[in-house]
Amino acid sequence: MHPAHPDPARTLLRGGLVADGVAEVTRRADVLVDGPVIAGLIAGGDPPAECAVIDLAPGSVICPGFIDAHVHAEGPVLAAGRVDGALAQGVTTLVIGQDGQSWVGATAATAQYLNEYFAPVNGALEPARDLSVADFRAAVSGRLAQNVAVLASQGTIRHNVAGLTRGPLTPPQRAAARRAVEQALADGAVGLSSGLDYLPSRFGDVAEMTAIAAPLAAAGRPYVSHLRAYGPQAGSGLAELAAVGAGTGTRVHASHLWGAPTDLQAAFASAAAAGVALSCDMYPYRRSSTVLAMLLLPPDLQAGGPAATLAALADRGQRAGLLAGPKFTDDFLRDVYLGDVPPRYAQFAGQAVTRAAAGRAPSAGEWVLDLLAAARLRVGAHLDRRLLADDHLAWLAAADRMCAGSDGIYQGQHPHPRGYGAFARLAGHYLAADPVRGHQRAARHLAANAAAVYGLRDRGRIAPGLAADLCVIGPGGLTERATYAAPQVTATGISLVMVNGVVAWQDGQPRAGRWPGAVVS
């Protein structure tokens, strides 16, 4: 039964087990919510006076609202104020501004660049305009169904002060970038991200990152990085990240980490020995998702910006050089699947490049270059990572400092299913691995750890005085339904989601007209 609207000031969630994100196992308790905060946990008995009661199905588990530690949700947040694929999985807080590439914090010129370069991930900010963290907060105030935490983005800031300059920032540019980080933190940013596979983020080195990330330590916020290297080279990528941590004295966090367990364990141990607090996030899929141009084209070819890249693709000599490379062979392109594509190519969304190209061009490589040119590079893609093994994912899922990060992209005809299923898949993994402690492990890895990483002190756990961000997993469990073939199918099993004490999701759907979310820090 739905509580009356608006929700009463005091609500009791009765009849569930509680996974508070701290203890080893769940315990039987009712959760009392008073306005936007948790008032207490009650061990049965009569409900307090003047309190609405929501009776939960037997076997239900009350968890802290999950926190997506890495998600690309700027577009849906600005357009709709919520991400239903995440709400359906119990996600109450979205951490945006990832990979050093975000409209938030951008000047109009940088926003226009990102509209062209990063559109397959974030879509486009229309019209392109200045959008500081404070501007973003004002734009979404009063129309959020979920909480949003914002990272300042190093690539965005670098483009603001230096465009696509390849070399080191000049001292005045570096000082301007540092002031931008300080201002973003003052406006409520929860850290600084970089994306060292993307432009212009990749032009920054350890010295630059250390200089502009210096304000993070005093603010108690992390430096978060899409590493320069993953897989067999993850150790070197983590070493670069740890060097920034050592130079700034701040926590560091590796985005969507993967690699051999022995390499990762050694890197974590090395960071700890240097006094660096290192954490990571991950999504439990072997297939990745990104911008097709970044995946296929050499960085030098893209360094001049989209217009220069398109000119290079039209040059016969440069095109021939690309086609002779390893990324334009059928062996590689059969592992590349199309995501966000222009409408005229919609029939190919979700298909491997080799299948889409069959019978349409002399080679799959030539066809995909034609696609990039026709789409003006605005194509998303997924890659089957042959080197990513199940034991890599299992090690990460068990790591003490792992946070759940969907890396969800909600743009285009055929996104990766991770935005609709990562939290459900992880919750199922923890419960299957340990039926006794599984819900508490899920609460830590899907909520408490991310809250600790980003300094969200009043979220991520269930305890009196903390924000009433809660999700209830029904007796049937949280079930992933999204697949690579049908990626936009919402998960099932979350019976209720509270955001700041207000029911935002119930009975498999959002509660219309409710905007209890906030930009949190």
Please say if the pLDDT value at position 476 is more than 90: yes
37-51, 122-136, 356-370: least confident range = 37-51
pLDDT of residue 5: 39
For residue 290, name the pLDDT band (cuts at 50, 70, 90): very high
Q: Could you count the other beta carbons within 10 Å of the beta carbon of residue 232?
A: 11
- Average pLDDT of the residues of the chain: 96
2: pLDDT strictly greater than 50: no
Q: What is the pLDDT of residues 68-110, one digit of tens each?
A: 999 999 999 999 999 999 999 999 999 999 999 999 999 999 9
Average pLDDT on 41-54 reads 88
pLDDT at 225: 98
Tell me the per-residue pLDDT of 484-506, one tens digit each, with 9 for 90 and over.
Answer: 999 999 999 999 999 999 999 99
Question: Cα–chain-centroid distance for residue 209?
Answer: 21
Q: What is the pLDDT of residues 122-144, one digit of tens each?
A: 999 999 999 999 999 999 999 99
Once rounded to an integer, what is the mean pLDDT over residues 230-239?
97
pLDDT of residue 1 exceeding 90: no
Please provide residue 52's backbone torsions phi and psi, each rounded to the nearest 5 degrees: -75, 145
Instruction: Tell me the mean pLDDT in the region 177-184.
Output: 98
Extract the tokens encoding 378: 């605005």
As to burial, measured by CB atoms within 10 angstroms (0-12 exposed, 13-18 middle, 19+ buried), residue 50 is: exposed
- Give, to the nearest 10 degrees, the angle between helix 261-273 and helix 234-248: 20
Asked if pLDDT for residue 6 goes beyond 70, the answer is: no
Other CB atoms within 10 A of residue 26 CB: 20
DSSP notation for 39-82: EEEE-SSSPPSS-EEEEPPTT-EEEEPEEESSEE-HHHHHHHS-
Res 7: pLDDT:
64
Summarize the confidence of residues 12-24 as an average pLDDT. 97
Gap between the Cα atoms of 235 and 43, Å rounded: 48
Confidence of residue 50 (pLDDT cuts 50, 70, 90): confident
Query: Residue 193 is inside which H or E element, if any?
Result: strand 192-195
